[in-house]
Structure 1
Amino acid sequence: MTLKVRILPCGLLIPLIFLTGAISAQPWSERVQDLIKNMSIEEKVGQMTQLTVDMLCEGEPYAITVPFKISEEKLEKAVIQYGVGSILNVPTGTYPGVEAWHQILTTIQDKVQESANKIPVLYGLDHVHGLSYIRGGTLFPQPLGLACSWNTSLAREMAEITAYESRAAGVPWSFSPAMDICRNPVWPRLWESYGEDVYINTVMGKATIEGFQGRDLSNKTSIAACLKHFTGYGLPLSGKDRTPAWIPERYLREYFLPQYQASIDAGALTIMVNSGEINGIPTHADKQLLTDILRHEMHFEGLLVTDWQDIHYLYDRHKIAHSLKDAVRIAIEAGIDMSMTPVSYDFADLLVELVKEGTISESRIDLSVGRILMVKEKLGLFETTHFPVTDYPEFGSERNQEISLQGAVESIVLLKNKNDILPISKDVKVLVTGPTANTQRSLNGGWSTTWQGEGADQYLAEFPTILRGVEDLIGRDLVQYAEGASIDEITDMDLALQKANEVDYIILCLGELSYTEDAGNINDLNLPDAQLELASELAKTGKPMIVILAEGRPRIIRQLAPNSAAILCAFYPGPQGGNALAKLIFGDENPSGKLAITYPQYANSYTPYDHKYTEDRDVMNSGLSFNPQFEFGFGLSYTSFEYSNLQLHNSEVSAVENLQVSVDVKNVGEREGKEVVSLFISDLVASITPPVKRLRAFEKIILKPGESTQVIFELPVQDLAFVGPENRWVIEPGDFELHVGPLRQKFRVK
């Protein structure tokens, strides 16, 4: 069997981002042009305004009446008086199902029909890992877990299901995927990204966009994607959310633009802006980044939306504006199209003032309004805002849950398996213990039924926790349980130790609860002392200890790793995570996940895999400076794969050719398994110090025992380019080395 993989340029290389000049004339349709001509300044600015749905509900924002009820007076103000163009979010304190969402959308869009121009409202939700806020919909692994599957086909299929189910509820816009390359694992939104690597972020993001948007955005199964958070959001120096990043332009262009370029080229319709600042300039105020680079160089013609209240923050948080009105001016001049304002009308009032006094031109407003109306037109909202629920018989279906389970299984990474202790027999007695053993929060993370995910145990109770997953698989009679410790405090550890002596194996579940954004900020990446103490005391019993890390970022496990017989890492695998972990532990499934991040060994040593040679040396006999707990791309299986016959079609190639690589892979173990065949390339000498290696291609394959296949990569040599001293993409002639599994081979670019 031969598997041929053609790796096409995907925005990594020489995307023509050094062009100058004005933005090309926008290709607005006749309908959009006519609407713009007939709209007042107030109506245009209304289209640029985005409110949270709480502004339409009885009660106050964040404290609405529950069950929620749309206020006729507030609806009139938003839709008729202000002509608001977009609404987002879920009514606070609620988790509506499809019918309730239809009620919300119908009420809003029916009101639109009373307005002069009858422009539909664009509704958006954070579908970060499936239907975060729609009861009964399907949730999947979070993006970091999905990245650890290294399965782009699965990413595309999950996005297709998300789009289908979102449209079933009438919601045509998702604030995802997050394209935030994360180079600091302390960052509390690491799990919302596809990890530390540019290429994985590029191909996973592109697959998600293709799944969301399909071939026709107006189709009843398609939604608009929103890339976020443009850009550099995942590299705060402190590791804390919405704090400053310091990114040289060369590094920005090589690591933080390519994945966006590929997604723009794939048709991404909207982009959300980074809430932080880069080099002292808040991104919402950065005209060079948002207009000169994103619009002029990268040729993005879609809708650019702020994050939550970020124009206001230019004034009262970043301190670069003298007033809120000044902040509005700065953001619009920088290139913002729509303000997620989201709990006041100040933005609209102040922007109208700025236009009427001549500070902001009406033509500048027209440009943003045209983009907004274009998105609505492409989504088919002028014809139909939502479709009958009966058109979506697969909403929340068993098949969709099977895909969720597959995603969970493939997302989990087996990091240690001493003496092949896993899988274990289903007739043994086990103790399930630890703070993440009996909660859905540690399987789902934030954006799961509620913003911080604290509602997961209430709303996702039908899905098994890790404890229940084990009980369901082997029977409750064989399972003991004691919590032992909460996230940061010892609880009934004595009971856990007592029960440990009564079983054959210990399944110790450690990690984190759910969080996102500022609520997830931490000062120490080490696991809390209570969890380490529980692990240490359980290890003293002498019983084999299987550690499950249910977490959103790689908490330090250096102290407990030597005492563990096996370690499984589950970066928020979703509601099916309990089932998936049980199936992996007891052998119903074979692990195939590989780390999409470098798992650090020390709390202040966060060197990524594509580091420089100076970061991988023995410093004064103190040991290698790059010494992670587990390397990027690492992951074990219950079977073994053998690599052989690595061949290059030509050992010398020009910059305009394709590099053709083939390798044979054989399953030499005793059970069927999936393997990620990865192609890394090292530039051995360059004018800018080269990284030790970069991931350039991969393919996930499945082989039965004894089966072999030939994997063929066809990689454009242009993909070996880097951003040189002049901040331009260059390909320099010289020697390179490719790595596939344990095999190496050199070639030359002439």
Structure 2
Amino acid sequence: MALTTTDRARVDALLAEMPLSAKLAQLVGAWIGIDSTTGAVAPAQNENMPTSPDWETLARTGLGHITRLYGTRPLDPTDGRTALRRMQSELRRESGIGAIAHEECLTGVATWKATTFPSPPAYGATWDPELIAEVGSAIAASMRALEVHQGLAPLLDVVTDARWGRVEECFGEDPYLVGTLGTAYVRGLEEGGIVATLKHFVAYPASQGGRNLGPVHMGPRELTELLLYPFEMALREGGARAVMPSYSEIDGMPVHGDPALLTTLLREKWGFTGTVVADYFGVNFLQTLHAVSGSKRASAERALLAGLDIELPNADCYPALDTPDLDPEVLAAIDRSVRRVLELKAELGLLDEPTELSDEPVDLNPPAHAALARRVAEESVILLANDGALPLAAPGRIAVIGPNADTAAALLGDYSFTNHVEVHHPDVEPGLTMATILEALRAELDGGTAITHAAGCDVREPGRDGFPEAVRAAQAADVAVMVMGDRAGLFGRGTVGEGCDVDDLELPGEQRALIEAVLETGTPVVLVLVTGRPYALEWAAGRCAAIVQAWFPGQEGASAVAGVLSGRLNPSGRTTLSFPRSAGMMPTTYRHVRLAGKVGVTNLDPTPVFPFGHGLSYTSFERTDLRLSTSEIATDGTVDVSVRVTNTGDRAGVDVVQLYLHDVVAPVTRPEVALLGYARVELAPGESRDVTFQVAADRLAWVGADLEWTVAAHRASLSVGASSGDLTLTAPLTVTGPTRTLGHDRVLLTPVTTA
């Protein structure tokens, strides 16, 4: 919503009359009701927040943000709304200005009783931006009902290392796919009136050793092409109004104190006018983790001068600036940031008394949201391998084995309220009732199929006492469905999630040993993986009868997995994370340059077990007739790329048509293949459709030695296939004409049509 002249005048007047203490109050958050006994949900939380701030003092001075009122402990949504209204009323009475209430919302608003959608790798596996925009809209509706203003999502981190625990919070490893899906999610939030916060800007997933908050060693060209691209797209195409810096330090420069990223690039080059909010305790980390400042005051000065506006989650370093001896440059930075905050509050109506408040009870899991969660889960399940064992034959005898088979929490990611907060409150009634995969499969196959169950082992704890029972169950069955994988958590409490990094990519605990023990029985094994990261599966790929991947599929995920196993659903998910042969391949991406591929100068083969874009179906597809509208394109031109896709099987299905670029010769080394565009295409048996991509020359650009996006004369080729590792149709393309340097207005998207 654009600011009116009246709004700007009000902001000017407020800023002119505020004392320094009131200005600083607008630049901090307050996390009420959390202390060292609550349970850590943020890094170094207990060290940085041993006690909860005093609300009465805060209300008198004013406040920028109210931090996670709903997402800190189980709180009835309607009671929480009443408490929030009381807090806002006190703030307006004392300071005349309400506070921005923010919450986490990666897989739904992270509060008790709210719909929990699948995790972002599952969003990615749908390859369906419009569906993900609907998710953003649904989450926005829930947040509006709670009178929350800002959501701390999405993550636009492009994955380069599967060892990193927060892989399960990311869309995938390709910048275009991350950008388009992330932009769709942002559009859903923003059009629903919620401020989207892009994070983590930038390079968080490229940390040394795949360790959380690790330093980053990456050149500026790769940083721009691989990691910055989705942020640029979501700001320009999605209209996000907030950005959260990364905890990372890049080549020795902590992002929370880097003016080159937060001001020169973000504001001056990209034209961003919203607010930059610190990741939790990120300002203090300039001193305690990065050691680039010697005090809280020095950390605050560095962050503000770099372009960071708001300190979250609490007033920690910024209050140290309430002193008469501030440098004029720091004072100017404070005024600049306060103006940005007040302008956003004007847009959100926080400079006025609220109107039309509803007293209706808050329902955060309405049937429409649950149905949407189920649809996302159904589109996201990936059939990685299948020798004909799936769909399951019925009736028959099925042994359901594994630690994730009969546990509902295994379906949810680390930023779900269940695994993020509720785990610290075991005596509280669960906010959601969810079926497990075992329960869903029994409901799915109730036509005489005999189903037995054995856990076999824990997700990660040692111990093989359950192996004999699992082996006996498999021996007595026609097929063993083994439901294995991860348990999401934080800071070492899970096998994956924030602060749950690994140094190998074997399935956690005794799980591989259990699978191998069951395989030895000779009973066909259908391996169902409910995970947050891709594991090294070369050992299993040739031995299991089928492999199904579900990326923490959310509250409705059990039914989706069961539907794929039974054949009620035809799987349409595609990988957005390559499955490596081993952790020794890390860091890696399918977008590797030639020298990082399979070459004769090394004995190590980095070819993935399952490549980016891979996924099987219960029908078959044929792609034919690749056509380019021209074989020669000017550096400012466009080319239409068309392909015919046909369902050659006997049941309806969805193909994900993928278009890739290969630069044959270019002045800088280029990825062997890079995604240019994609389309989900639903086809009846025997049906054919033409898919056409409109590719602008800007989409063929690279970042040159001068660090500018450049498109120049060169030779390339365009390919279509079933995945990045199975490109069956290729056509040459020559780019001609003068070299062009591109700016922030360059073409970022590849439009696609089907006929």
Q: TM-score, normalised by structure 1?
A: 0.90
C-alpha deviation, 1:341, in angstroms: 4.5
Q: Deviations over 1:121-172 (max 9, x none)?
A: 1011110111222x33222111111001100011100000000011111112
Partner of 1:68: none
- Matched residues in 2 for 1:52 and 1:428: separation? 55
1:411-430 to 2 correspondences below 5 Å: 411-418=380-387, 420-430=388-398
Match of 1:499 among 469, 473, 487: 473
Partner of 2:746: none
* CA distance 1:294–1:491, shift in 2 (3 Å): farther
1:123 aligns with 2:109: no
Name the SS for the 2:317 alignment partner: helix
C-alpha deviation, 1:263, in angstroms: 1.5
Match of 1:435 among 377, 397, 403: 403
- Matched residues in 1 for 2:216 and 2:93: separation? 46
Partner of 1:664: 644
- Matched residues in 2 for 1:317 and 1:307: separation? 14
- Matched residues in 2 for 1:415 and 1:63: separation? 38
Partner of 1:16: none
Name the SS for the 1:300 alignment partner: coil
Q: Deviations over 1:660-682 (max 9, x none)?
A: 01111111111111111111011
Match of 2:620 among 626, 634, 640: 640
Partner of 2:750: none
Name the SS for the 1:357 alignment partner: coil
1:690-701 to 2 correspondences below 5 Å: 690-701=670-681
Moved more, 713-722 or 395-404: 395-404
Partner of 1:748: 734
Name the SS for the 1:644 alignment partner: strand
Name the SS for the 1:178 alignment partner: coil
1:38 aligns with 2:17: yes
1:598-613 to 2 correspondences below 5 Å: 598-606=578-586, 607-613=588-594
Match of 1:255 among 207, 226, 229: 226
Partner of 1:539: 519
Partner of 1:724: 704
Aligned AA for 2:715? Answer: D
Partner of 1:10: none
1:231 aligns with 2:202: yes
C-alpha deviation, 1:101, in angstroms: 2.2
- Matched residues in 1 for 2:538 and 2:332: separation? 59
- Matched residues in 1 for 2:356 and 2:395: separation? 50
Match of 1:445 among 394, 413, 420: 413
C-alpha deviation, 1:453, in angstroms: 6.4
Name the SS for the 1:263 alignment partner: helix
Name the SS for the 1:743 alignment partner: strand
1:479-490 to 2 correspondences below 5 Å: 479-488=451-460, 489=462, 490=464
Partner of 1:6: none
Match of 1:204 among 181, 193, 196: 181
Q: TM-score, normalised by structure 2?
A: 0.89
* CA distance 1:618–1:362, shift in 2 (3 Å): closer
C-alpha deviation, 1:454, in angstroms: 6.4
Partner of 2:236: 265
1:31-430 to 2 correspondences below 5 Å: 31-54=10-33, 62=38, 74-80=54-60, 82-90=61-69, 94-116=73-95, 118-133=96-111, 135-214=112-191, 221-266=192-237, 267-342=239-314, 345-353=315-323, 356-358=325-327, 360-383=329-352, 388-389=357-358, 395-418=364-387, 420-430=388-398
Q: Deviations over 1:8-54 (max 9, x none)?
A: xxxxxxxxxxxxxxxxxx99722222211121111110000112132
Q: Deviations over 1:497-550 (max 9, x none)?
A: 111122221111111101245531222221235111100110111111110111
Name the SS for the 1:225 alignment partner: strand
* CA distance 1:687–1:454, shift in 2 (3 Å): farther
Name the SS for the 2:665 alignment partner: coil
What is the count of residue pairs matched by the alignment? 702
Q: Deviations over 1:196-239 (max 9, x none)?
A: 1010111011101110011xxxxxx4211000010011100210
Name the SS for the 1:330 alignment partner: helix
- Matched residues in 1 for 2:266 and 2:22: separation? 27
C-alpha deviation, 1:315, in angstroms: 1.1
C-alpha deviation, 1:642, in angstroms: 0.9
Aligned AA for 2:97? Answer: I
Aligned AA for 1:682? Answer: H
Q: Deviations over 1:235-272 (max 9, x none)?
A: 00210110101111111111122211111113110001
Name the SS for the 1:329 alignment partner: helix
C-alpha deviation, 1:442, in angstroms: 2.3
Name the SS for the 1:257 alignment partner: helix
* CA distance 1:145–1:92, shift in 2 (3 Å): closer
C-alpha deviation, 1:429, in angstroms: 2.0
Higher relative contact order, chain-length normalized (CA < 8 Å, sep 6+):
1
- Matched residues in 1 for 2:442 and 2:225: separation? 48
Q: Deviations over 1:74-123 (max 9, x none)?
A: 3211121x31210112468622232022023112111113213x111101
C-alpha deviation, 1:448, in angstroms: 1.1
Aligned AA for 2:307? Answer: G
- Matched residues in 2 for 1:250 and 1:84: separation? 40
Q: Mind listing any 5+ residue stretches in structure 2 that lack a counterpart?
A: 41-50, 491-496, 722-727, 737-755
The answer (yes or no) to whether the contact 2:297–2:318 under 8 Å persists in 1 is no
1:14-29 to 2 correspondences below 5 Å: 29=8
Aligned AA for 1:62? Answer: T
C-alpha deviation, 1:455, in angstroms: 3.2
1:579-728 to 2 correspondences below 5 Å: 579-606=559-586, 607-619=588-600, 622=603, 625-728=605-708
C-alpha deviation, 1:436, in angstroms: 1.4
Aligned AA for 2:596? Answer: E
C-alpha deviation, 1:384, in angstroms: 6.0
Alignment RMSD (CA, Å):
2.4
The answer (yes or no) to whether the contact 2:537–2:579 under 8 Å persists in 1 is no
- Matched residues in 1 for 2:591 and 2:341: separation? 39
The answer (yes or no) to whether the contact 1:453–1:514 under 8 Å persists in 2 is no
Partner of 2:739: none
The answer (yes or no) to whether the contact 2:97–2:351 under 8 Å persists in 1 is yes
The answer (yes or no) to whether the contact 2:63–2:91 under 8 Å persists in 1 is no
- Matched residues in 2 for 1:269 and 1:454: separation? 30
- Matched residues in 2 for 1:494 and 1:464: separation? 27
- Matched residues in 1 for 2:500 and 2:6: separation? 42
Aligned AA for 1:660? Answer: D
Moved more, 509-518 or 676-685: 509-518
- Matched residues in 2 for 1:259 and 1:108: separation? 36
C-alpha deviation, 1:417, in angstroms: 0.5
Q: Mind listing any 5+ residue stretches in structure 1 that lack a counterpart?
A: 1-25, 65-70, 215-220
The answer (yes or no) to whether the contact 1:63–1:92 under 8 Å persists in 2 is no
Aligned AA for 1:247? Answer: M
Partner of 1:18: none
* CA distance 1:73–1:307, shift in 2 (3 Å): closer
Aligned AA for 1:422? Answer: L
Name the SS for the 2:165 alignment partner: coil
* CA distance 1:285–1:27, shift in 2 (3 Å): farther
1:503-542 to 2 correspondences below 5 Å: 503-516=477-490, 518-528=498-508, 530-542=510-522
